Amino acid sequence: MKTSVENTNVANAVSEQLNQLLADYQIYYQNLRTLHWYAQGRTFFALHGKFEEYYNEASEVVDELAERILMLGGKPTHSFAQYLQASRLKETEAISDGTTAVNVVLANSEQLLNAVKETFNVAGDAGDEGTLALLSGLIGSTEKRIWMLKSFLQ
């Protein structure tokens, strides 16, 4: 079986799926920035720092996804208008309540987990081991983040 890098049609299919994931991650990143800026109250120190950690991680993922698309011969989506149109995540409003903010991050993370798994399946069907390796790590880190957010809310 040819890998996705060797087969243009397969590479295009994986690239398209990765572009969808890229759009989702860009909105997730911006949501975290907003929540970071507007954190207030008793959980300020914990959430302000945690949201910064999360958006720094998301920034790295965005770069990895875009570079993987380029490796496959695709073109990563690069405008915020395109991200807003394509993303399955919605922009968040300015939220200062900690519990509400954590619930937004949890919901976004659960959506991202589903999107990463969907992309993983497309890459698996294509025999694209490079993309599978990237996505496998994302699945584990996203599952851990979901567990931690749920633990915070208990």
**Cα 57 to Cα 8, 9, 61, 145, distances in angstroms:** 30, 31, 6, 11
Domains of the chain, start order: 8-153 (1.20.1260.10)
Q: Are 13 and 5 in contact (CB under 8 A)?
A: no
Tell me the pLDDT of the chain (154 aa) as tens digits.
344 345 788 889 999 999 999 999 999 999 999 999 999 999 999 999 999 999 999 999 999 999 999 999 999 999 999 999 999 999 999 999 999 999 999 999 999 999 999 999 999 999 999 999 999 999 999 999 999 999 999 9
Reported pTM: 0.93
